[in-house]
């Protein structure tokens, strides 16, 4: 008689544990833990070109409060300032924010199977998906929960792990088509450091989120915008949105509508309408398109002043 081997859950890394602790309390996450609080990197350093490098164990509060980071990367600093609550920001880390798991209530329920827990389907697709995606990329319809991922996407940041160097945010999180994963980290792979390119001369940036009063910790839609404006025209525009897809999205059509164009109200209004290009909202998420268009318009008008 043969006995089938018992499959043990993979060990999970724990730093502050702001997300992990909740998942373990609910029974969604089980198994061994690896404490990395003394083995990872923290703090912000700068190279000779003025580019920042942020250790994965650096808290969100440190990112939000660093004056030099706010001067060079104002969109990232503002994103950190708006994230969660002061209590969470003083514990949660930038690496943990990038690697956190889905906030979907079906995933968080230990009694319901879903793609991310080895199931065959996404129950939110035919169930309650009020806070789901407006750009349906396939598989899971829960938006990615990381605010800082959207900001770092706007800044073309690279992520270093203990196994790989210079991952883009897209390489780290995927393209959204694989509903079984929240990120592309392999078992035993952890984020070590986030590296940003040097700030561009004259660039400006801002961040804004649309929230519901009862669910203020996670935005319905959020946007980080960067721009270089010279001679009355948009010389460079980067727009990265969260809350609308299984991964943060660059609004490519909107960026293209602004590149090299005059900074005026009509151009901004037209570009904002392009923000929803390619959207495939679910029956309950079409409202997010109005929020996205409004955020794009608001931030571009703010940056144009």
Per-residue pLDDT of the chain (305 residues; tens, 9 = 90+): 444 444 456 788 999 888 889 899 888 988 899 999 888 899 999 999 999 999 999 999 999 999 999 999 999 999 999 998 899 999 999 999 999 999 999 999 999 999 999 999 999 999 999 999 999 998 999 999 999 999 999 999 999 999 999 999 999 999 999 999 999 999 999 999 999 999 999 999 999 999 986 655 689 999 999 999 999 999 999 999 999 999 999 999 999 999 999 999 999 999 999 999 999 999 999 999 999 999 999 999 999 99
For residue 146, give the 3-state DSSP assignment.
coil
**Residue count (the chain):** 305
Q: Where are the domains of the chain?
A: 12-108+146-195, 220-304
In Å, how far are 34, 75, 87, 94, 292 from 13, measured between CA atoms?
Answer: 5, 28, 21, 14, 34
Q: Is-contact 246 103, C-beta < 8 A? A: no
**pTM, rounded to two decimals:** 0.93
Q: Quick one: fold of 220-304? A: Enolase-like; domain 1 (3.30.390)
Two domains, one topology: 12-108+146-195 and 220-304: no
- Strands of 116-251, DSSP E: 158-161, 167-168, 191-195, 203-210, 221-230, 233-242, 249-250
What CATH architecture is 12-108+146-195?
A: 2-Layer Sandwich (3.30)
Q: Which is nearest to 203 in space by CA: 47, 71, 54?
A: 71
Cα–Cα distance between 243 and 183 in angstroms, integer?
Answer: 16
């Amino acid at each position: 008689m043969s006995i089938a081997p018992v499959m043990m859950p993979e060990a999970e890394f724990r730093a502050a544990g702001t997300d992990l602790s909740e998942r373990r309390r609910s029974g969604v996450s089980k198994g061994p833990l690896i404490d990395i609080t003394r083995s990872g990197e923290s703090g912000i350093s700068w190279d000779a070109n003025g580019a920042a490098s942020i250790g994965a164990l650096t808290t969100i509060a440190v990112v939000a409060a660093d004056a030099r980071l706010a001067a060079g990367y104002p969109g990232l600093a503002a994103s950190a300032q708006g994230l969660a609550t002061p209590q969470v920001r003083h514990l949660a880390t930038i690496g943990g924010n990038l690697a956190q798991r889905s906030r979907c209530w079906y995933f968080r329920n230990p009694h319901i199977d879903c793609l991310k827990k080895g199931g065959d389907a996404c129950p939110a697709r035919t169930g309650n998906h009020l806070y789901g995606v407006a750009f349906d990329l396939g598989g899971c319809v829960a938006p990615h929960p990381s605010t800082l991922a959207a900001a770092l996407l706007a800044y073309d940041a690279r992520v270093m792990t203990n196994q790989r160097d210079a991952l883009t945010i897209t390489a780290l999180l995927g393209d959204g088509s694989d509903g079984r994963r929240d990120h592309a980290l392999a078992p035993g792979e952890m984020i070590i450091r986030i590296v940003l390119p040097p700030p561009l001369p004259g660039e400006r940036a801002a961040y804004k989120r649309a929230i519901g009063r009862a669910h203020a910790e996670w935005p319905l839609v959020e946007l980080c915008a960067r721009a270089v404006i010279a001679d009355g025209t948009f010389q460079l525009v980067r727009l990265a949105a969260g809350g609308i897809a299984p991964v943060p999205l660059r609004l490519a059509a909107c960026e293209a509508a602004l590149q090299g164009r005059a900074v005026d109200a009509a151009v901004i209004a037209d570009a904002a309408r392009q923000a929803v290009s390619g959207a495939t909202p679910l029956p309950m998420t079409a409202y997010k398109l109005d929020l996205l268009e409004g955020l794009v318009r608001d931030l571009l008008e703010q940056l144009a002043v």
